Structure formats: structure tokens, C-alpha cells
Amino acid sequence: MKPTFVETENVRRFYAKLTAYQERGAREACLIVVDGKPGLGKTMVVRRWMTQTGSLYLRAQRGWDYNWFLQEMLAAMEIAPETIRGPRAKFSRIIAELADRGQKAAFAGKLFGVIIDECDQVSSRADIMEGIRGISDLHFLPTVLVGMGTLRDNLRKFPQIDSRAPHKVDFRPATLADANALIEGRCEVKVAPDLVQFVHKVSNGLNREILDAIANIERFGLRFDAGEEGITLADMAGQPLMTERGGKTIHVPEHL
């Protein structure tokens, strides 16, 4: 599979919100909420932004408390948490480090920020969410909170935090055009339009399933002499195409 990054509608919406963040009026409106069902490419997109900007990436854990959160922040900065005693000292070190990294990124013309993936896990915890707000407020750094459905509802319980998150991105299932772009950009073999349409239909627009289909199409196509339009639906009749979330394998129908 080609290592190409494909720009879909979700990607464009995410980067549009980053632009809106930079053009915001209220400096404290630093929270960017990325929400949507699993499998829509949220983590892939924010990780790409992390790589582009050198931003900080954390994955929230259900058992986090405030001190654990601070320790994870320090570890993500490659600072040994055990060398700093007490939450106040850890918080101060984090703030100083973020200021330094943000300034260096600004000099390089980049937008440095903090990404907290799977934030649903902790979005009902007032102590952690207030900690995130406090860190974001002090240097007005973009803080991207990534969730899978409950994040927005939980933020409404904390008006002081929700008011700082006007930039919300709803990740949606891939359109047919998105599926076509993903297949064209990532697949090592040419794929006919009828097979692209079938992949889009049975994947329900979920990126993971589309990528799974691409791998199976490639595996078949690299040992098959396809026609000019590429691998067709008829060519792959009876072949495994993708695996559903429940573990069931979807095959291309034998009789079309």
C-alpha cells in the first residue's frame, strides 16, 4: 500500500478549524474539539498534524487522575516525572516547557499545540478538564481534544471550558469521492469504478474498513491480469474484501 496521505473532507474540515483558531477574536478560545465514531481517521489526522508541527500527543486513560495526567504530559515531553516532586512543581515545569516549545515553533512558522486523544475517557472529570483549561489558558496554545461521541456532551457540563471550544470538527463517514481518493491514492493497483462503489457501500464510509479493502484488493490484483479499467467487481467475485467490526469477513458476491 502506498504511504500517501490522502486529503478527505474530514481532513479539510480539521485544517479549516485550525485556520479559524488562528483568526479567532477571543485569545482564550484555544480548545479544538474533534469528535466522531471510531474508524473515521481522527487519530491519523491529528498525528499527522503532530508530526508536521512537533506538537505534543497524549492518549487519555480511564484511570487518570490530575497527578497522573501531569505525569503523562511530562513523559510526552521526555522529562522524567519522578525528578519533579508535587503537582504544583510538575505544573510549573509543564507550563515553562510548553512556552519554550511554542516560541520555538512560532519562530519556525509552525503552530505548536497539545493533542489529547480519546478524551472521552476523562471528559467528565472536572479536575483533569480544569487542568487542561489552565494549561491552555496560560499560553493560549491550541489544545485538540479528540473524542468518540460523548466528549461534546460532557463539555457542556463545564461552561467555562465549553466556552473555550468554539472550534468543533465533526468527523463523518467517507463520501464516495473520499473513498475513490483513498483507493486511488493508496492502492498499488488500479481499481474500477464499480468496485470502488461497492467498497464505499459495504464499508459504511469507515476509513479502517476502506483501508482493509485496499489491502485485499492489492493482494488479489498483484497476481491478476486486469483490464484497462482496473480490478472490477466481477474480477473479485467470491474474494474476501474486508472484515467487519464484529469479525465477519465480507466477500465480493459470486453472482452480480
**Cell triple for 209:** 474498513
Q: How much is the pLDDT for 256?
A: 62
pLDDT one-digit tens code per residue, 189-241: 999 999 999 999 999 999 999 999 999 999 999 998 888 999 999 999 999 99
**Residues 164, 201 within the same domain:** no
**Residues 23, 131 within the same domain:** yes
Within a domain: 1: no
Residue with cell 465480507: 250
The strand pairing partners of 57, in sequence order, are 115
**Residues 55, 69 within the same domain:** yes
User: What's at 216, amino acid-wise?
Assistant: N
Q: Which of 195, 197, 246 is nearest to 216 (CA)?
A: 195
Q: For the chain, what is the mean pLDDT?
A: 92
| Contact by Cβ (8 Å): 243, 249 | yes
Distance, CA of 1 to CA of 72 (rounded, Å): 33
**Residues 141, 186 within the same domain:** no
Q: How much is the pLDDT for 245?
A: 81
Q: Are strands 31-35 and 114-117 parallel, antiparallel or unpaired?
A: unpaired
**Residues 217, 153 within the same domain:** no
Where residue 132 sits, what CATH number does that domain have? 3.40.50.300
**Residues 205, 101 within the same domain:** no
Look at the chain and report how many structural domains it folds into: 2
| Contact by Cβ (8 Å): 135, 66 | no
Of the candidates 138, 170, 202, which is a domain's last residue? 170
Q: Which residue positions in the chain have pLDDT lower than 50?
A: none
SS3 content of the chain, % helix, strand, coil (to 5): 50, 15, 40
Q: Which of 54, 55, 46 is nearest to 17 (CA)?
A: 46
**Residues 79, 163 within the same domain:** yes
Q: Which residue range(s) make up the domain with 155?
A: 9-170
Residue with cell 479502517: 208
| Rounded (10°) angle between helices 193-203 and 207-221 | 140
